[in-house]
Structure 1
Amino acid sequence: MSFRKKRSLYEVTNTKNHIPNDEALKKSEANLRTIFDNTDSAYILFDTNLQILSFNLLAQKYSEQNNKKPLAIGRYINEYFSAERWLLILEILKKLAAGETVSYEMSSIDDDGTTNWHHIRWLNVKNNDNKNWGYILTNKDITETKTATLERERITNDLTQHNRDLEQFTYIISHNLRAPVANILGLANILKEHSQGMDVETQQEVIDRIFTSTKNIDTTIKDLNQILQTRKPIGRKKEKIEFEHMVDAVKTSLRNITALEKVTINCDFTSVDSIFTTRSYLYSIFYNLTSNSIKYRKTDVPPLICITSQKINDTIELRFKDNGKGIDLDKNAEDIFGLYKRFDTSVEGKGMGLFMVKTQVAALGGSIHIESKLGEGTEFILQFN
């Protein structure tokens, strides 16, 4: 009994309308490559030895733009990451080897300040024996979608903040404007009805009170105007600002008081030394937080202010910590950043500084919160995306 020997796949050819199978495979591979190169995601395939096996045109484009280095088959994937970043990638590879799929969003800033967003996925590739064969890294540009989402969130937050502002302004009008107006009306009526019977000293006292009430109204209107100016959309130029330079500018402005009170300002910006933002707003934030720490210092201890920065994922965090009097947050937490809210009447002020800081931080797209204990100093934590 004989058996006809089976021909291999590459030996099989058909006649007439059929294409030889090796040509069919080449055509199929070309079609797949066309799809691979025209997708909206970048793909890189590399083996367990971390050597690149394949990639598409978009991956090459991203590498040349971001790494200034072209991808090449046979090169090791770790060559395209910084040493710091590679430590995080190693943790991701451990998860992949355990069968997990890892995905996350990342942002980057161009030289012109434009923020780009990408969705990153890491996939594990197994062979027929279910053994780890390699990895796939995908990178999809989601800037348009992400920007729209962030814009919706910004509008929602702005509306919420505007509602709070309206409540705040209503309170100001009721107390800070209506009271002095009522005083002026009452005093003016006294002058009108009783001026002939008044002595000069009494008339002068009434006039002085009218002047004081008028001045209070003027101060309140100026404060409201300052707040409204801060609430306007930022049209000022954004630029790269070195934190060290900003601190130097604040030290120059506060030179007299820092020398008089023997203030020490320590800085550590080794983690991240700059930010891309609006200079005038950032200066105001640094100035107000520094002067606030000096203002609420302990009387028996020279003020010490520590300003530090760090990068947490895509967030820049700034911390302003002092050794001052501190604040009782159990009593005052809700009013810390309120307008005209004061917790230490032994120091001159009107409760505008921290309100303006929070307003300007929000205008720059950031957030701020406070940690403090009475008698143990205060720390303000600012975060910017």
Structure 2
Amino acid sequence: MNIALLSQVVEALPDPVAVFDAQLRLVTLNSAFVEENKRYLAITFKAGDSLLRLCDAAPHVRGEALEHWQRALSGERFTLVVPFGDPPLHYKISYSPLYNGDDTVHVMMIIRNVQQETEARRNERFFRSVLENLPVGLQEFTPDGWHRNMNTAQRHILGEDHPANNGPYNVFEDGFNRRTGLTALLDEVKQRKGPVKKEMLLRYSEIHDENVTRIQPLYYDVTGFPVLDLQGEIAYLFIILSEITEKKLAVLSLEKSERLLYTIVEHLPVGYIQFDNFGFIRRVNQTQRRFFASTGLEEQPDSNLIQDPFARLFELDQLFMQVLQKGKMIRLEKKLEFQVHNNGGKTDREVFLDLTMFPVEDPVDKDQIVVALVNDITEKKRQELENVKTHEFLLQTGEIGKIGGWEVDMTTRQMRWGAQTYKIHELPPFTHMTYEKSLSFFTEESRNRVELAVTACMQRGKAFDLQITVNTARNNVLQCRIIGKPEYRNGRMVRIYGVIQDVTEQYKIRNQLTRNAELMRLFFDTIDMGYAVMDKDGKVNFINRKAQEIVDHGKVIGRNIFEVFPTLVGSTFHARVQQCMMLQAPVSFSNYLPATDKWYEFLLAPMQDGNISIFTRNITDSKKMQRELRKANEQLSSLNKYLVNQNKQLEDFAHITSHNLRAPIANLKALMQIMNDTDGEQEKELYRGMFQEVIKNIDETLNDLIEVVQIRKDLNVERERLVFSERLQKVRDILFVDIETSGIELITDFSEAPYIEYPRIYLDSILQNLLTNAIKYRATDRKPSLKLQSRMVDGGVMLTAEDNGMGIDMERYGAKLFGFRKTFHKNKDAKGIGLFITKSQIEAMGGSIHAESQPGAGTKFIITFSPE
């Protein structure tokens, strides 16, 4: 065996290593072996020393060490852990025989201090024992969620059939955990790298009670926490489950009871205020909050009832102290008068309260608290006061209106009268009265009518309202109105009751009114004007003879005029009637009735009783005269306008003629003079051709002048409804060749004003001239285009035509743009007549045209058509 090589290998090993032979002598050893023995046994070993020195230093291990060395020398390879020292240290010793051929000659002994590992395993066993016996569930997972271990309590919680007990299980892949929130909790633990605790409903249990099985939820406190490695990353995930079902159900039951109590208190129909024993408000329900809001009082939860000036003013503090000290309930009505601030002012308020205060002991703190039930009875109190006032009012009204009450008891046939009834009959109050005795005050004819009415009321339950004559106890004759109706209880008539009213004065007044009405009818029938009275709903209450003749219909009185004549609904007459009623002021107007081809003038006047007086007369003849006069005025106005236009035409014609024919005629004179001075026939023939050209130009000028004159002459040219897109298409068909040759692009937008009332010949001429100009004066360096757009402006139609042509210098030629025979470009086809005619046609119909342009930037024409 190569000892030198073996020494190098041994020295390279990190643990203490020694090689000894069969005589237990050290053949070679490394420095770690030397240092270890030197530190713990104070022995310095070197090659050639005997291992027995170890036995001398530690006699208690001698026998066991010799046995181990002999086993190794016999060729056995083994490893064992032995304690050594005081206190003992644990070493892991490995024996490896080294063979030289078939004979064992040396043994390598490797010693490793495993004291820390031993202590760690011992601690691990301890902690595992502790965790295994914990009363809460504990489960370990990898960072990816794979189950590694769990204690007995967790197995019991999960159950024997849980997947974690029967193979690989990932907590994040379990859908049940996503529903319970366990997955979200572990995700939060991983995100925070810290513990997270939540309450969860994880499972249900069955509770068997005789033949009934109940399902009970099981709640747990779930705590998740990570174990981090040295690099701060999660090495393991743990969850701890602690069952809190009983506690949770108790809390839920308490919360349910609290919510139920809160709901009951919150929805009490009376106000609820709870005070502590110091007088501070602890709780107010919604009814009380609405009360605070309705009264304008401010809810102040921190205010003290004992110290509050408002409470002390109305002695609420004394009531509180009385309840608190005596421990008894108090109930009373309380009237509160106060001022509330609103809209910068103050308003006096008066509130009546039904106040109940009683003591209650707080079940937790054992303190006395006071509960106040506040019922706002302001309306009830006001109603009671109103009833008293109403009763007094009825008594006063009965006395003023001479109305008294009465009733007949159907069982006893006894009659009861009111005080005013005795007064009407001129009897002392409380005189004994029966049904038969009461009839004795009526005349025979009235008595018979009353008896028949009472019999019908008793047999058929029919109410009655009669006019009767009464002879009073003092022999005065009165005209009275008696009204009666039955009262039933459980389907049986128990009494007949009603009123009796002295209407003697009204009877006299009605007779007088009847006479006055007859006189009024005679008066209105004699006047030569229709008169009728109509209520606000259209029912005719009166109509005189003249109005009846105008209406020319059967019976109208008592009928609705708008039902008799449906054509009046929505008419001028209908609108004026509504105007008269709304303004409560007279309204006059005239209206044409197509059915009779007649005009009528109406005067509607409101009456104090809500009716309307209607005065009417036939104005057909007057209307016809007005129409003839208006027609004559229109003809005169048209003639005057025509003459003015003619004069203007003559002036323009004279000006244009003198201006535009002067040069051609001068040319004719000059040519004639030259031709007369020429002797050569050939030269004369040349001048004759010039004569023809000049005469042709004069003829064209005259034709253009005639066309312009004709435009100005046609003042009454017929208008018709024209659609811009249709008329433009007509012009495009006419100019088809020019459009195709020029390649002009037409862009239109007639959406806002698609049509116009205008003469067709004028609109076609205007569109044609605008399109022709855009083609004639197009730019040579770009594709020509023309955009036509119509829109509504101030009730009229505006048409814009914008091209991208050569443009015009408006500063230089703007004033002459629409002149007769004015041209501004060197275009052989330009005559200067198109825009002049266009302007003449537009202005002849009351419109206007102007242009916006710059050289090289195109031209925009803006045409405003007159709405009439």
What's 1:231 paired with?
A: 712
Alignment of 1:181-200 (within 5 A): 181-195=665-679, 198=680, 200=682
Do the aligned partners of 2:796 and 2:864 also contact (CA within 8 Å) in 1? no
Q: Residue 283 of structure 1: CA displacement?
A: 1.0
Larger proportion of strand: 2
The answer to whether residue 541 in structure 2 is matched with residue 60 in structure 1 is no
Cα distance between partner residues in 1 of 2:640 and 2:777: 35
Within-5 A mapping of 1:60-139? 60-61=570-571
1:299-348 CA-partner distances (Å, limit 9, x unpaired): 22222211122234542322222222333333333322221122223453
What does residue range 32-71 of structure 1 map to in structure 2 within 5 Å? 60-61=570-571
Q: Which residue of 2 aligns with 1:317?
A: 798
Equivalent position to 2:652, from 136, 145, 168: 168
Letter in 1 for 2:824: F
- 1:208 Cα deviation from its structure 2 partner: 2.7
Counterparts of 2:686 and 2:759, CA distance in 1 = 48
| 2:663 corresponding residue in structure 1 | 179
- Distance in 2 between the 1:331 and 1:171 partners? 22
Instruction: Check the 8 A contact 1:295/1:347 in 2, yes or no.
Output: no
Q: CA deviation at 1:383?
A: 1.2
Counterpart residue number, 2:741: 260
Distance between the aligned counterparts of 2:821 and 2:568, measured in 1?
Answer: 55
- Give the conservation status (yes or no) of the 8 Å contact 1:328–1:372: no
Measured in 1, the distance between the counterparts of 2:637 and 2:774 equals 33
- Separation in 2 of the partners of 1:307 and 1:353? 18
CA distance in 2, matches of 1:349, 1:147: 46
Which string of whole-angstrom CA distances, capped at 9 and with x for unpartnered residues, describes residues 263-317 of structure 1? 1111122223223333222211111111112222222222221112223454232
1:88 paired residue number: none
In the other structure, the counterpart of 2:697 is 216
CA contact 1:265–1:306 (8 Å) conserved in 2: yes
Partner of 2:849: 369
- Which position in structure 2 is the counterpart of 1:243? 724
Retained in 2: the 8 A contact 1:243–1:273?
A: yes
Question: Judging changes above 3 Å, is the alpha-carbon distance between structure 1 residues 147 and 266 closer, same or farther for their aligned structure 2 residues?
Answer: farther
Letter in 2 for 1:382: T
Is structure 2 residue 522 aligned with structure 1 residue 19? no
- Alignment of 1:327 with 2:837, yes or no, is no
Is the Cα–Cα contact under 8 Å of residues 168 and 339 in structure 1 kept in the other structure?
A: no
CA contact (8 A) 1:281 1:360 kept: yes
**Alignment partner of 1:362: what SS?**
helix
Q: Assess if the C-alpha contact under 8 Å between 1:297 and 1:324 holds in 2.
A: yes
Query: Paired residue for 1:296, among 749, 758, 777?
Result: 777
* Counterpart amino acid of residue 266 in structure 1: I
Q: Which amino acid aligns with 1:264?
A: E
- Determine helix, strand or coil for the equivalent of 2:850: strand
TM normalised by structure 1 equals 0.59
Q: CA RMSD in A?
A: 4.8
Deviation at 1:236, TM superposition (A): 6.5
Distance 1:277 1:156 in 2: 23
- Cα separation, 2, equivalents of 1:318 and 1:150: 31
Cα distance in 1 for partners of 2:686, 2:700 equals 21
Looking at structure 1, the residues matched to 636 and 802 of structure 2 have their Cα atoms a distance apart, in angstroms, of 34
Deviations 1:216-272 (A, max 9, x none): 221112212222332332676654322111111111222222222221111122223
- Equivalent residue for 1:357? 838
Counterparts in 2 of 1:211 and 1:222: CA distance versus 1, 3 Å? same
Higher helix share: 1
Amino acid at match of 1:340: R
Distance across 2 between alignment mates of 1:147 and 1:284: 32
Change (3 A) 1:236 1:185: same
Whichever of the two has the greater Rg, that structure is 2
Q: Partners of 1:347 and 1:316 in 2: how far apart?
A: 34
Cα 1:238–1:178, aligned 2, differ >3 Å: closer, same or farther? same
Identity of aligned residues (%): 27
Counterpart Cα distance in 1 of 2:658 and 2:785:
40
Q: Is the 8 A contact 1:324 1:378 kept in 2?
A: no
- The structure-2 alpha-carbon separation of the partners of 1:237 and 1:165, relative to structure 1 and needing over 3 Å to count, comes to closer
Distance 1:352 1:59 in 2: 57
**825, 841, 849: which one aligns with 1:344:** 825
1:92-150 superposed Cα distances (whole Å, 9 cap, x missing partner): xxxxxxxxxxxxxxxxxxxxxxxxxxxxxxxxxxxxxxxxxxxxxxxxxxx99999999
The runs of 5 or more residues in structure 2 that have no matched partner are 1-395, 403-504, 522-530, 535-539, 551-565, 576-626
The match for 1:379 is: 861
Mean CA deviation greater in 163-172 or 337-346: 163-172
Q: For each residue in 1:19-62, what CA deviation from the matched residue of structure 2 results, as whole angstroms up to 9, or x when unmatched?
A: 39xx9xx9643589x99xx9xxxxxxxxxxxxxxxxx9667248
Q: Is the 8 A contact 2:753 2:791 kept in 1?
A: yes
Q: Does the 8 Å CA contact 2:668/2:691 hold for their aligned counterparts?
A: yes
Change (3 A) 1:331 1:160: farther
**Greater relative contact order structure (CA < 8 Å, 6+ sep):** 1
TM-score (norm 2): 0.29
CA distance in 2: counterparts of 1:328 and 1:159, whole angstroms: 37
* 2: CA distance, partners of 1:271 / 1:216: 44
Q: What do residues 164-183 of structure 1 show as CA deviations (whole Å, max 9, x unaligned)?
A: 43333223322332332233
Distance 1:371 1:193, change over 3 A: closer
Does the Cα contact within 8 Å between 1:326 and 1:372 map onto a contact in 2?
no
Q: State how many pairs are aligned.
A: 291
- AA aligned to 1:60 is G
